[in-house]
Amino acid sequence: MTGGCSCGAIRYEIASFPLLLYTCNCTNCQRISGSAFALNMPVATKGFRIVKGEPKGWHHKSPSGADVTSWFCGECGARIYGERKSRPESINLRAGTLDDTTWLVPVAHMFLRSAQPWVLPAANAECHEIGPDDYRPLAEKWRAMWPEFFRQD
Ligand SMILES: [Zn+2]
Ligand SMILES: [Zn+2]
């Protein structure tokens, strides 16, 4: 998979299938995206590569207190992915930056307590007022949705 920012200065490639896809309706994600929710797609760090340009980093704390770096294009300002100090094995890609967004169906919705009242969940998606403490059962569900990309063993 490939993707990039709005102006084309930053381009990336993903070599391994994403680990999860979910929306986050927290007020932080609403502000950052300038929209109703963020479409977050964790990807294994070792499968993610910037192939053009150099994103700029913004270091801050997430609402839960985690040290986060948000990477964005210094030219057009598009946010591309986030990285957590405590979770170096994966990055959190903004799924809308992919070149092909036609297949993006979230497996869960987070922070529905602050969701816009008209937001409806995707079919069969898990709904969370905040989010799960453990993302593993959700990752399991996601893998079951994509048997062609994950060996079932
Ligand atoms: Zn750009
Ligand atoms: Zn959020």
Residues 93-116, mean pLDDT to the nearest whole number: 97
Residues with Cβ within 8 Å of 40's Cβ and at least 6 positions away in sequence, in order, are 20, 21, 22, 23, 24, 29, 92, 93, 94, 95
70 C-alpha to ligand 1 centroid (Å) = 14
Distance CA 138, CA 53 (A): 33
Query: Which ligand has the shortest distance to the CA of 30?
Result: 2
77 C-alpha to ligand 1 centroid (Å) = 6
54 C-alpha to ligand 1 centroid (Å) = 10
CA 120 to chain centroid, in Å, comes to 19
Domains parsed from the chain with CATH numbers = 2-145 (2.170.150.70)
127 C-alpha to ligand 2 centroid (Å) = 14
132 C-alpha to ligand 2 centroid (Å) = 13
Mean pLDDT of the chain: 94
pLDDT at 97 over 90: yes
Confidence of residue 150 (pLDDT cuts 50, 70, 90): confident
Query: Which ligand has the shortest distance to the CA of 62?
Result: 2
